[in-house]
Amino acid sequence: MFLRIFTVLVTRGSLARRRLDERGQTTAEYALVLVGAAAVAVLLLTWATGSGRIAWLLDKMVDTVANMVN
pLDDT of 14-53, one tens digit each? 555 566 566 677 788 899 999 999 999 999 888 878 888 8
Q: Which domain holds residue 53?
A: 2-69
Nearest residue to 22 (alpha-carbon basis) of 30, 7, 8: 30
| Other residues' Cβ atoms within 10 Å of the Cβ of residue 48 | 14
Q: What pTM was estimated for this model as a whole?
A: 0.48
Residue-level pLDDT at 14: 56
Residue-level pLDDT at 34: 93
Tally of structural domains, the chain: 1
Residue-level pLDDT at 63: 94
**Does position 61 have pLDDT exceeding 90, yes or no?**
yes
Q: What is the mean pLDDT of residues 45-66?
A: 87
Distance of CA 60 to the CA centre of its chain: 30
